[in-house]
Structure 1
Amino acid sequence: MRRLVAACLTATVLTGCGGVGADDPLQVTDTLTAAEPARAPDQPARPAGTVVPAPPTALSAFLPGASTLATAHERTVSLYDARDLRRAPRTVRLPAAPATLRATPDGKLLAAQPDADLVARIDPATGTAEQLRYPGRPLDAALVPGGLAVALEATGSVALPGGKQATGFKRPAELVELGGRLHVLDVLATSLTPVDPATGEKEPALRAGTGATHVAADRYDRVLAVDTRGQELLAFATDPLIMKQRYPVPGAPFALAYDPGRDLAWITLTASNELVGYDVAGGEPREVHRVPTVRQPNSAAVDPATGAVFVASATGAGMQVVTP
């Protein structure tokens, strides 16, 4: 496999890694579209590991403290005991379908619901949800110093604790907090922007490929990003923000789950119904696992204690558990 490793020394040195703004010369159309997973073919190979029945699943997240796997099907969030997925899950019915599920360091689960202008804070211990109102179609939420940061689609902004806001985004879809700084993935501008959550001040953005869809933080204080349209895995150092790695990942990569104990970035390939594990501890990603999955693997989560990876089918082909 060919190597593509790039370092961008500043936000303006290289055109492909340059700053992103309203007058960005790389935006060649006024009608921007976010990248989507590929329409998966039928799965001729038997999925690896164990597959248990599950409804079509668009989102998943793992809560390590509770050993709980959370999944979303339409307006229902299911809370599975990750040690026994065959047990019936507890369910939480939401006012609207969530756009994201995000585990928080304090053991809760955040579910942003754009059609209801709500963010649910779900307690896995009780199976109850506190609903927080955020007008503006919330797409994601993350804990930052002082409270919650919430990405708002309608206003192209991120609401911050204390009434502050970071503005000027096209579609802020995913948030990652690292070292007290918030990093915002804009899936229309396909860019990554650091934000000071105390003031709302934005730092220079970097291009995140040609169609980034998902991001995750690793234990080296980097932001990992899946470029679905460009078919790459990207790694950004964050102090300052610099693109450190680009690595080819053919097959319409989409879902991303990071295992900090094993330094593995797990990526699903929606064009080929596969799960690939990359060791990201070195100077460039190194493929160490590749297995067939259930059809249309649009979401994935990992248990950092056991290394088990949970891959959910968006077509209802089941929930797959793979233990490397």
Structure 2
Amino acid sequence: MPRARFAAVLLPLTLALAGCSSSEPAADPAPAKAAEPADSPELTTDPAGTVVPLDPDAEGMVFDPVTGLLAVAVRDPNRLVLVDRDGTAVLEVPLPGHARHLQLAAPGGPVLVPAEDSNSLVEVSLPDGAVRETPVGSYPHDAAQVASGQVLVGDEKGGTLSVVEDGEVTTTLTSQTQPGGVAVVGDVAGVVDVGAFSLTTYDVPAGELLDVVDAGDGPTHLVADARGRFLVADTRGNAVLTFSADPLAQVGSLPLDGEPYGLALDAADQLLWVTLTGTNEVVALSTAGDELTEVARLPTVRQPNTVAVDPGSGRVFVGSRATGELQLIDP
């Protein structure tokens, strides 16, 4: 009997303890961080085309069809290297900070260089390399010029957007968490918020937010095609997403394993070139139809974070962040 009474007392106590334990709320999971390119594996296939040495940490490229120059951001020290179509450096321009993304304000230049750790937008004229530097928000990551001539700069660490006109910030927008890629359709700018996993559109001359939609599991960069669509690299989600600009809505999704990251649009051939950092490849997607379709896939240099294209010849340039090499591909 004593043993039975002990068991009877112990059972309710055990249940009571279990009930107390189960009533404690579970800790909320940590929010997902901004997506990053994959740490690319070692090469198992020779890169397509020709590979030439360039400079350390080559990341951020844009090709100008007017001057025939490829602008490449490199580090150690921070510079903008202007390269001809054959990969030969013709001019180096010192930069006040490092850059990861470049765009042309318009054909013929200048090159828009968000120098991240200097909190400045550097505009580099072509072909002479003359510089104009404008202080902007914290850690500018990407910049694009709208039809009205204003430049919208995404200040990644500040969570702001700086509107630059004639070398001065005229407006600062504060509706972003962590702005990443920027692209434009007329006077409307699309901005990927890499912290909120969203795409937001702005009427830049009016300084107004137009709309915001979800943009996958971890978007990073985007371009705008000739049909006025925003094409977004969902790096964590392994896809390229298509959005109409007006109204802002997702209208397509193409699965693309390999953590897509770098984007370059060949408007002449209606091709979007996408680097796959997880597999050391570059893929060509046709933008001619309502849905994107893959038309080519080529091996690249290791860590292909950045890509550019010459719309006149179709030549594709891929930069290696790991080796500082430049790859030239004639598809």
TM bucket (normalised to shorter chain) is 0.7 to 0.9
Asked whether the 8 Å contact 1:164–1:199 carries over to 2, the reply is no
Aligned in 2, Cα 1:200/1:118: closer, same or farther, shift over 3 Å? same
Aligned in 2, Cα 1:134/1:182: closer, same or farther, shift over 3 Å? same
User: Residue type matched to 1:33 in 2?
Assistant: K
Quick one: which of 220, 228, 233 aligns to 1:226? 233
User: Residue type matched to 2:128 in 1?
Assistant: T
Q: CA RMSD for the aligned pairs? A: 1.7
> For 1:202 and 1:136, how far apart are their aligned partners in 2?
20
Indicate the SS of the match to 1:320. strand
User: Residue type matched to 2:68 in 1?
Assistant: S
Unmatched 5+ stretches in structure 1 = 1-27
Aligned in 2, Cα 1:29/1:203: closer, same or farther, shift over 3 Å? farther
Indicate the SS of the match to 1:42. coil
> For 1:142 and 1:33, how far apart are their aligned partners in 2?
24
Residue 188, structure 1, aligned to residue 195, structure 2? yes
Aligned in 2, Cα 1:48/1:128: closer, same or farther, shift over 3 Å? same
Residue equivalent to 1:63: 64
> For 1:97 and 1:127, how far apart are their aligned partners in 2?
17
Asked whether the 8 Å contact 2:112–2:122 carries over to 1, the reply is yes
Indicate the SS of the match to 1:100. coil
Residue equivalent to 2:35: 35
Deviates most, 227-236 or 112-121: 112-121
Residue 148, structure 1, aligned to residue 151, structure 2? yes
> For 1:299 and 1:184, how far apart are their aligned partners in 2?
19
Asked whether the 8 Å contact 2:150–2:205 carries over to 1, the reply is no
Residue equivalent to 1:245: 252
User: Residue type matched to 1:121 in 2?
Assistant: E
**1:255-303 CA deviation, whole Å, 9 max, x = no partner?**
1111111111111111111111111211322111111111111110011
User: Residue type matched to 2:292 in 1?
Assistant: P
Deviation at 1:93, TM superposition (A): 0.8
**Structure 1 length-normalised TM:** 0.86
> For 1:142 and 1:58, how far apart are their aligned partners in 2?
17
**Structure 2 length-normalised TM:** 0.85
Q: Percent of counterpart pairs with the same letter?
A: 37
Unmatched 5+ stretches in structure 2 = 1-27
> For 2:258 and 2:316, how far apart are their aligned partners in 1?
19
> For 2:186 and 2:268, how far apart are their aligned partners in 1?
19
Residue equivalent to 1:130: 132
Asked whether the 8 Å contact 2:137–2:161 carries over to 1, the reply is no
Aligned in 2, Cα 1:238/1:315: closer, same or farther, shift over 3 Å? same
Deviation at 1:32, TM superposition (A): 4.2
Asked whether the 8 Å contact 1:295–1:317 carries over to 2, the reply is no
Max radius of gyration: which structure?
Answer: 2
Quick one: which of 251, 259, 266 aligns to 1:259? 266
Residue equivalent to 2:300: 293
Aligned in 2, Cα 1:29/1:159: closer, same or farther, shift over 3 Å? farther
> For 1:70 and 1:155, how far apart are their aligned partners in 2?
26
> For 1:41 and 1:233, how far apart are their aligned partners in 2?
22
User: Residue type matched to 1:133 in 2?
Assistant: P
How many residues in Structure 1 have an aligned counterpart in Structure 2? 295
> For 1:281 and 1:231, how far apart are their aligned partners in 2?
22
Deviation at 1:29, TM superposition (A): 5.7
Residue equivalent to 1:8: none
Quick one: which of 216, 219, 229 aligns to 1:212? 219
User: Residue type matched to 2:38 in 1?
Assistant: A
The one of the two structures with greater contact order (alpha-carbon pairs below 8 A, sep at least 6) is: 1
Residue 158, structure 1, aligned to residue 161, structure 2? yes
Deviation at 1:128, TM superposition (A): 2.0
